[in-house]
């Protein structure tokens, strides 16, 4: 059963060697390879690019996932369309989400592919948002809600850009973001509806944050660690909730202070802070729940999908990762792997 | 209505001046003063000495309580017997707990005194244990239970010595303590039933803890901060719960690293640690609940009351604080303010 013709070979990116220091062009190679085989064959349309992939390229103890194997295509969150199937639960034509990214086609048993309701969201790439992580952190860990003053560090990141909007949509009184440039700070306020934002290069984080939150913060959603974490502790109000998602900052080189900020225990104890570090693993229910919430907020016009679309195909994946690590992008970074689109939707995209 | 004769004057300790650096003898003075007046008059029997008093002697922003006023007697957790009363809810003869420590007599409205069931525990000083704090941290914050490997830093402190026993009584698989000397480490194992303990001077905390917990820890109850906090993060198992009570360590001088350890965010996130800093404020229900639990475990022979009794009376209070800060004591430090006792109970006492 064939939905569309499939080629005999496809392109995929392989990890050629482990990076020494920051990932560099020779670490990833694009190869032409035989089409993968399996019960279900999927043409990949979009992959979410993520800074976490930098860490998984290395042999780094303590990560929640094993490192990418050398000589193989890495994993990555991807959506595509089923083009061949022997599993009736994953039929031809279905939109599916899976982890065989960095390649044009994916294959495997039906259980490797989660079917998505294509009509729920405006496009397949909407199913790849960092929303489940942002939602888990902002709603589940930090319980941001009406009246809260919320600070999101690294707020133009894929997770941060969604997290800030979630806080607003849940009724937060004031949402403040930090960003890596003046342009990104403006983007937060003008396009994503943050109440205030600062460029972290403009001074000590403690001073910048205090100016925007003179009475302190109730919620901190951390994507960076470092001095922004330390500033958030100093400005936390009693009982403030911290959702900590910022481990990956500053790991690209010797800036270890970002990944290992000082924790002021006396202040944390005096104010009875709740610190919840959390990783990006989600149950199917969490993902479905987020996608439904996302659809509703989009319908109500209360949300934009903050994203950068990279049109380079599989061959452009390595450069897209390098550009992401150079902080060139805004919001969720979506790499088109195959196909095109006749739909134009620029909401929140740069 | 008089239960026993009362004098016209009593002795109290006053804060003569704010310490510059570590508290020194001239900072506290013992004076003879008129008996305080109020609806209820209490003869104080025992006060719990605590390292937190050092911080409250200073003008230190960020503390959960205001500093002790200069020229007045400080506050401190105390039990005593009502000797005069115009409040039928706080009758003469009742055992009451309150915060007017550092003096022989306390007075005030009935609402300032919490009546205790004298028959519940073996002696009045048992009502002054650090149990409510240890219980809140070990049961409420860390939820230590069957199967857990538990690490308590600063385990011979008042809070730590009770916390470790609570973990054992709740079924923890293995309870490990750190202490400030070889003798204190032995005390933990031989008298309090810890499974293992180390002297923190014997090497890097990470090495010492790894040797005793080669498969990692599920619960950390922190009384010290510093390198023991950092070691606990490195050895935490996924989902480990941290009850953080150690802010006051290392604040006596320039050892700020104890109070501001590095938080390894990547590890904390990868392992999804739950970090709960908490302070020692308790509801009446929490205190009553602990006292009943304490009584039951004492009856069952599963618990000792780890304590040091200081017999110096009010005049000995300043030196008792200095000795406590010099880490001379074991367990809960109980200062006898007035009266004597014909009961001898040395369980866990040194």
Residue in chain B lying closest to A243 (CA): B269
Helices (H) and strands (E) in chain A, counts: 10, 15
Stretch among A102-111, A215-224, B18-27 having the lowest mean pLDDT:
B18-27
The pLDDT value recorded for residue B10 is 97
- Pick from A247, A265, A278 the residue to mutate for testing the B interface (most B CBs within 10 Å): A265
Query: Which positions in chain B have a beta carbon within 8 angstroms of at least one beta carbon in chain A?
Result: 55, 62-64, 222, 225, 229, 244-248, 251, 259-279
Closest partner CB to B262 (pick from A246, A248, A260): A260
Percent of the residues in chain A that have a pLDDT greater than 70, as a whole number: 92
pLDDT tops 70 at residue B2: no
Q: Read off the pLDDT of residues A22-57 as tens digits, 9 standing for 90 and up.
A: 899 999 999 999 999 999 999 999 999 988 898 889
Give the per-residue pLDDT at A3. 59
* Reported confidence tier of residue A284, pLDDT bands at 50, 70, 90: confident
Q: Which residues of B touch A64 (CB under 8 A)?
A: 269-271
pLDDT, mean of residues B37-59: 93
List Cβ neighbours of B194 (8 Å cut-off, separation of 6 or more).
Answer: B152, B155, B164, B168, B175, B176, B177, B188
DSSP B52-106: HHHHHTS--TT-SSPPPPTTSPPP--EEEEEEEES-TTS-TT-EEEES--SBSEE
| pLDDT value of position A21 | 85
- For residue B203, the model assigns a pLDDT of 96
Q: What is the pLDDT of residue A270?
A: 86
Instruction: Tell me what pLDDT residue B64 has.
Output: 72
The rounded distance, in Å, linking the Cα atoms of A182 and A15 is 35
What is the architecture of the domain spanning B9-129+305-336? Alpha-Beta Complex (3.90)
Q: How far is B263 from chain A (nearest CA, A)?
A: 5
Give the count of Cβ contacts less than 8 A between chain A and B.
109
pLDDT of residue B62: 67
Residues 6+ apart with CB under 8 A from B137: B159, B163, B221, B243, B245, B276, B278
Average pLDDT over residues A113-124: 96
| DSSP label of B314 | G
Q: Which residues of B touch A263 (CB under 8 A)?
A: 229, 260-263
B270 and A64 in contact by Cβ < 8 A?
Answer: yes
Beta strands in A86-135 (DSSP E): 95-98, 105-108, 114-116
pLDDT 10s digits, B56-100: 899 877 677 789 999 999 999 999 999 999 999 999 999 999 999
pLDDT digits (tens, 9 = 90+) for A141-158: 999 999 999 999 999 999
Q: Report residue B20's pLDDT band, with 50, 70 and 90 as the boundaries.
A: confident
Average pLDDT over residues B126-133: 94
- For B200, the 3-state DSSP assignment is helix
Residue of chain B minimizing CA distance to A251: B266
Residue B318 has pLDDT above 70, yes or no: yes
What is the residue-averaged pLDDT of chain A?
91
Longest dimension (CA), chain A: 65
Chain A closest CA to B225's CA: distance in Å? 7
pLDDT at A60: 75
pLDDT of residue B243: 96
Q: Chain A contacts of B239, Cβ < 8 Å? A: none
The tens digit of pLDDT for each residue in A189-218 reads 999 999 999 999 999 999 999 999 999 999
| pLDDT tens-digit readout, B157-175 | 999 999 999 999 999 999 9
Q: Is 3.40.50.720 the CATH number for B131-277? A: yes
Which residue numbers of A have CB closer than 8 Å to B's CBs? 55, 62-64, 222, 225, 229, 244-248, 251, 259-279
pLDDT at residue number A342: 40
DSSP A231-285: HHHHHEEEEEEEEE--TTTT-SSS-HHHHS-B--HHHHHHTT-EEEE--S---HH
What is the percent of chain B where pLDDT is above 90?
Answer: 79
Residue A349 clears pLDDT 60, i.e. is over it: no
CB contact under 8 A, A279 and B272: yes
pLDDT given at position A62: 67
**Which residue is closest to A141 within chain B, CA to CA?**
B274
Indicate whether B240 pLDDT > 90: yes
N-to-C CA span, chain A: 39
Q: Collapsing DSSP states into helix, strand and coil, what is residue B40?
A: strand
Average pLDDT over residues A289-316: 94
Across A171-186, average pLDDT? 97
pLDDT value for B249: 47
Q: What residues does CATH 3.90.180.10 cover in chain B? A: 9-129+305-336
CA distance B175 to B189: 10
Ranges for all domains in chain A classified under CATH 3.40.50.720: 131-277
Cβ <8 Å between B266 and A64: no
Q: Give the N- to C-terminal CA distance of chain B in Å, as an integer.
A: 39
B70-107: b (≥16 Cβ within 10 Å) or e: eeebbbbbbbbbbbbbeeeebeeebbbbbebbbbbbbb
Nearest CA in chain A to B244: A269
Which residue from A63, A265, A270 is facing B225, i.e. has the nearest CB? A265
Please count the CA atoms within 13 angstroms of the CA of B348 that sit on its side-chain side. 26
Give yes or no for residue B345 having a pLDDT over 50.
no
Chain A residue with minimum CA distance to B62: A267
Q: How many CA atoms lie within 13 A of B186 on its CB side?
A: 4
CA distance B159 to chain A (A): 15
pLDDT band at A185 (very low <50, low <70, confident <90, very high): very high
Question: How would residue B3 be classed by pLDDT, with cut points 50, 70 and 90?
Answer: low
* Residue B341 binned pLDDT confidence (cut-offs 50, 70, 90): very low
Q: What pLDDT, on a 0 to 100 scale, did the predictor assign at position A249?
A: 47
Residue of A nearest to B276 (CA): A274
User: Best interface-test mutation with B: which of A50, A263, A281 has the largest number of B CBs within 10 A?
Assistant: A263
């Amino acid at each position: 059963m064939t939905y569309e013709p499939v080629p005999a070979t496809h392109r995929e990116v392989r990890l050629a060697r482990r990076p020494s220091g920051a990932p560099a062009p020779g670490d990833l190679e694009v190869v032409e390879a035989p089409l993968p085989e399996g019960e279900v064959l999927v043409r990949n349309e979009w992959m979410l690019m993520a800074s976490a992939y930098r860490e998984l390229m290395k042999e780094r103890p303590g990560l929640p996932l094993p490192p990418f194997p050398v000589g193989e295509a890495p994993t990555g969150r991807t959506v595509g369309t089923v083009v061949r199937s022997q599993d009736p639960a994953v039929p031809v034509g279905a939109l599916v989400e899976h982890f065989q990214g960095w390649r044009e086609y994916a294959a495997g048993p039906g259980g490797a592919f989660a079917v998505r309701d294509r009509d729920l969201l405006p496009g397949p790439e909407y199913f790849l948002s960092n929303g489940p992580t942002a939602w888990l952190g902002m709603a589940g860990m930090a319980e941001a809600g009406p009246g809260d003053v919320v600070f999101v560090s690294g707020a133009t990141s894929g997770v941060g850009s969604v997290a800030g909007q979630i806080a607003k949509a849940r009724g937060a009184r004031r949402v403040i973001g930090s960003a890596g440039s003046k342009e990104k700070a403006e983007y937060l306020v003008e396009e994503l509806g943050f109440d205030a934002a600062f460029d972290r290069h403009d001074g000590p984080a403690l001073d910048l944050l205090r100016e925007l939150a003179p009475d302190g913060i109730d919620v901190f959603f951390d994507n960076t660690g470092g001095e922004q974490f330390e500033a958030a502790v100093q400005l936390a109000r009693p009982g403030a909730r911290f959702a900590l998602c910022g481990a990956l900052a500053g790991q690209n080189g010797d800036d270890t202070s970002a990944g290992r900020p000082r924790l002021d225990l006396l202040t944390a104890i005096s104010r009875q802070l709740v610190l919840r570090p959390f990783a990006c693993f989600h149950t199917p229910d969490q993902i479905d729940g987020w996608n439904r919430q996302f659809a509703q907020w989009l319908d109500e016009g209360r949300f934009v999908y903050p994203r950068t679309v990279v049109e380079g195909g599989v061959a452009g994946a390595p450069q897209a990762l390098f550009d992401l690590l150079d902080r060139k992008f805004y919001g969720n970074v979506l790499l088109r792997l195959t196909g095109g689109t006749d739909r134009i939707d620029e909401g929140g995209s740069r």
